[in-house]
Amino acid sequence: MLDFAGGVTDVLSQPLQLRFSSADGMREHIPDFFADTRSGPWLIDLRPAGRITPRDVNTFAATSPLSRAGTTGW
Give the whole-number percent of the chain exceeding pLDDT 90: 1
pLDDT, tens digit (0-9, with 9 covering 90-100), for 6-39: 889 888 888 888 888 888 888 888 888 888 888 8
33: closest CA among 54, 51, 47, 19? Answer: 47
pTM of the model: 0.66
pLDDT, tens digit (0-9, with 9 covering 90-100), for 32-68: 888 888 888 888 888 888 999 888 888 888 777 665 5
Domain extents in the chain: 2-66
* Helix, strand, coil distribution of the chain in percent, nearest 5: 25, 40, 35
